[in-house]
Each structure stands twice: as structure tokens, then as C-alpha cells.
Amino acid sequence: MNQQTIAEKISCTGVGLHTGKPVQLTLQPARAGTGIVFVRTDLPEPVEIPARPSSLTGRAHLATTLGRQGATLDTVEHLLAAAYGLGVDNLRVEIDGPEIPGMDGSAASFVYLLRSAGLYAQAAPRSVLRVTRPIEIRDGQRRIRIEPARGFRVSYEIDFDHPCIRRQVIHDLSIDETSFEREIARARTFGFFAEVDALWRAGRARGACLENTVVLDEMRVLNRDGLRFPDEFVRHKVLDLLGDLALLGARIEGHVRVERGGHALHQQLVAQLAAERISRRSIEPIVRIPEHGRTPLRALLGRA
């Protein structure tokens, strides 16, 4: 139950899914209690952007964007999902551009990077948020709800008017390191060929291609190798959800249920949970003390 970071620095290069710009990404270890901090190194003065709800810009169209002091960073959710799924609490992410590289459109490449760097257990115990009463947000037919539960569980339902998708459901999936890598991490982002021109005109999907996006025409999947899972679309929605929930900076004990969700709905729940955490109305903050050995007081205070 201790916090984790990575054991050593590791880097990669890639292209942003939406900006189409080449970038270099470097992951570095961070002290306990730091959380995940993104650093835009391409600016005249580097800007640190912490991965927390207060950094959300309100731009939730197709991706999660964080910002601070006029600097923004797009498409952070796949990297954040990988960190959450593997239990990496503290990380410094240096990036020399405005968007995290898309890699293969999933979290698998980031899982590989984190595994290659090695996971390192730290002295400070993890922060855990235990949901003590349900919270629900509705937007027409869209709904997201979190309710008390043992551990962290997700149920997710999507419904698209497309023969390759239709209604897909993930039911009561217990999220841990094993299930994340096996069931969720490899699920890729997806889009529709008919929407490409409109997205390009809006300055989006400039770096999208068949190597990093599942693309569908009116009847079929255009990628030569097809799908990685029969229900890859809903699995990617769960991946996006985990990346957005990672902004809370704590392990969640509760069951999240989503119908027809997306980043905007996920982020509404994140904002509500952050507010409840401050007021402590629906959230019980838990500091877990490791069963083995003693924990220094300064570690309990998050200052280790």
C-alpha cells in the first residue's frame, strides 16, 4: 500500500494524435507526495502542470487537456491511465511539445515504458478515497455514478449506431494491475472516417492514422489487422475513464458506472469528487499504514 515511482529515467519520441507534432517524452522518478507533474520544456521558461482537477482547462472534446500559466498539454489520459493501472503515484513527465505522443493509440506503450524503467516502492503510504454515499451526474441519456464498494470496480456501457459497435458493456470489472494490463491497456482510441474532414478543419486528429487509431467507415473497421478485442471500443472508454480519474491523485474505493460516457462526463465526476473530498461529505480519506515495520510521522504527512 506504499506509494510508487519509477526506478530510473526513460524517454521516447512520438507524434501527437491531435496536433500531429513530433515530441520527445521523458519520464523521471519523483519524491513521495509529488503526484504526477507534467513539464512543458519547450517554452522560454519551463512550466509545471500538475495532474489534478484544478489543472483541467474545460476542453474535453476527444481528449483531456491540462493547463497552467497559459501553457496547455493535450491528450494526457492514456499516460495517466497507465500510471494509475500500474500503481505509479509519483512521476515527473517532461515533454517538449503541446501534446503527449499518441504512440499506438492505447496505454500499452506507456505501460512498456514504466515497466522498463522499473517500479520503485517509497516509504510513504498511499492516499485512498473511499466513497461513502452515491454520487450521480446525468446529461440527457448520458450518466455517470459512483457508489460505495470494496476495492475499485468499473461498469461501462456504450451504444453507437454502427454495425461494428452497437451496444457494448463492461460489467463489474475489478481494476487492479493485472486486470488493467490484460483487459484495458491495449484498447485503442477510435474514430469515424466520415468525420475526418470536420476534425481536421477544427485542428483535431492531425496525427491520427491507422497505426494509432481504430478507423471505421460506414460498415467496417479499416485497420488491416482488425480489432484487438471484439469489444475494444468500450474497453478504450474504460481506459479514458481511468486516465481522468487519475487526476484525483488517490486510489479509489468505489464502483463507477457509466452509460454513454466520454471525457466531459468523466471530468464532471472528477470535479464533484474533488469538491466532496474537500468537504468530506461523501468521501472518506484514508491513510493506510503498511503492516510491515514502522512509518515515520513525516511519511504519514506526505513529506517523505
The pLDDT value recorded for residue 283 is 64
Looking at the DSSP assignment, which residues form a beta bridge with residue 129?
A: 252, 285
Confidence (pLDDT) at 297: 29
Residue 284 is predicted with a pLDDT of: 62
Q: Give the DSSP per-residue string, 139-174.
A: ETTEEEEEE--SSEEEEEEEEESSTTTEEEEEEEEE
Task: Record the pTM.
Answer: 0.91
Same domain flag for 265 and 250: yes
Which one is catalytic: 236, 263, 266, 292? 263
DSSP conformation class of 281: S
For residue 263, indicate whether it is catalytic.
yes
**Number of domains into which the chain is organized:** 2
- Domain with residue 254: its CATH number is 3.30.1700.10
Are 254 and 133 in a shared domain?
yes
Contact 80, 102 (CB under 8 A): no
- List Cα–Cα distances, 149 to 19, 72, 170, 175, 224, in angstroms: 39, 35, 17, 12, 41
Query: Do both 136 and 283 map to the same domain?
Result: yes
CATH at residue 94: 3.30.230.20
In a domain, 87, yes or no: yes
Average pLDDT of adjacent 10-residue blocks, the chain of 304 residues:
96 96 98 98 97 91 93 98 98 98 98 98 96 95 97 98 97 97 98 93 92 97 97 98 98 97 96 85 48 33 31
Within 10 A of 296 (CB to CB), how many other CB atoms are there?
A: 11
Identify the domain containing residue 160 by its residue range: 128-287
